[in-house]
Amino acid sequence: MTAALTENPLVSIIVPVYKVEAFLDRCVESLLAQSYENIEIILVDDGSPDACPGMCDGWAEKDHRIQVLHKANGGLSDARNQGVKLARGEYVCFVDSDDYVSPDHVEYLLGLLRDYGADIACGSFRPVSGDGESFGSQPEEHVACFDKISSYKALSGRYYMPLVTAWAKLFPADAVRANPFPPGRLHEDEAVTYKLFYESGKTVLGNREIYAYYQNEKSITHTKTRKNMEACLQAYEEQYRYFEAAGCPPLQAAAAKRLLGTLVDLADRGDEVCREFLAEKREKQYLISSVGLKAKIRYYGYLLFRVDLNKLYHRIIKK
């Protein structure tokens, strides 16, 4: 796609809000402190039963760039989708309401788009457990660029965390409208971001830490449940079918390899959902020839010996 970036594009920042009265002010304050001022902030009150609805309205009264949508509870994906419908910006970014961002969050991402001629810009993040992150110290600068093929392979490898999340990114608004988040699902980012990378064309990833990812142990992300694992595997299966339908054999094989590797890794660690998946032989359809010999050896090794040969190999070479 790679369209030319306009001079001063409006950026829509979408913030789903639900049961975050202890964190909402911190989040909004960080957005209003942006060095890039041509923004609109859309607070989507997802039927929050606490003080959040009133807090959202209070913020809207203080700054004309904030608008509030009050809606019945529908979950994170639905809140994001409804926010996107209201967005007037050329670009969209998402911020979770218990997190906060650096003052140059939007400016940095726009700079990446402009400097590298990309369609999507991604920054990095730092885990935080409290307030007061200044974003002062930063890692030595590194920027990586991906096309529609290499972006998925990067997402499946070393760049998984900075690429998979919906936050710390700028997306073309039209691309997000064409690929809404699946309502009622966990791992909603897994179900969408790979499509945006593939359909948009060029993605740039900078390692500047511009997003404070609050470590809330009670959040869905930090809670390992059966439903959570089932949603993850569902997303991986959907990725395989997506690339199959798109007629992209390299990424179809990459998605199959990713699913098989995840099943073996987690089944070996005792995950019951993955063990049931293998016991039901649901993975057989993904054993396509292009998945590669190494992946097949790892898979059959686990079925025969109940050992993850990849982990065994790495344990041996470390001795």
Average pLDDT, the chain: 94
2-11, 47-56, 111-120, 245-254: segment of lowest average pLDDT: 2-11
Is residue 291 assigned to a domain?
A: yes
Query: Same domain for 100 and 191?
Result: yes
Is residue 4 assigned to a domain?
A: no
Query: Same domain for 192 and 305?
Result: no
Is residue 188 assigned to a domain?
A: yes
Give 130 or 114, the one with higher predicted confidence: 114
Residue ending a domain, choose from 185, 214, 243: 214
Q: 44 falls in which pLDDT band (50, 70, 90)? A: very high
In total, how many domains does the chain have?
2
Is residue 6 assigned to a domain?
A: no
Query: Same domain for 187 and 291?
Result: no
Instruction: Output the domain CATH number for residue 137.
Output: 3.90.550.10
Nearest alpha-carbon partner for 106 in 117, 121, 128: 121
Query: Same domain for 191 and 105?
Result: yes
Residue ending a domain, choose from 214, 240, 266: 214
Query: Same domain for 177 and 254?
Result: no
Query: Same domain for 209 and 250?
Result: no
Query: Same domain for 41 and 127?
Result: yes
pLDDT at 276: 97
Is residue 5 assigned to a domain?
A: no
Helix residue ranges, H only, 166-308: 173-178, 193-200, 226-245, 249-268, 272-279, 293-305
Is residue 219 assigned to a domain?
A: no
Query: Same domain for 37 and 135?
Result: yes
Tens digit of pLDDT for each residue in 207-257? 999 999 998 765 555 556 899 999 999 999 999 999 999 999 999 999 999
Query: Same domain for 177 and 241?
Result: no
Domain that holds residue 180: 11-214
Residue ending a domain, choose from 189, 214, 239: 214
Give me the phi and psi of 204, to 5 degrees please.
Answer: -115, 135
Is residue 35 assigned to a domain?
A: yes
Query: Same domain for 181 and 273?
Result: no
| CA-angle at 211, arms to 215 and 84, nearest 5° | 100
Q: Which residue spans within the chain are E strands per DSSP?
A: 11-17, 39-46, 66-71, 91-94, 100-101, 120-128, 143-146, 169-172, 203-214
Query: Same domain for 139 and 247?
Result: no
Q: Please give the model's pTM, rounded to 2 decimal places.
A: 0.94
Query: Same domain for 187 and 235?
Result: no
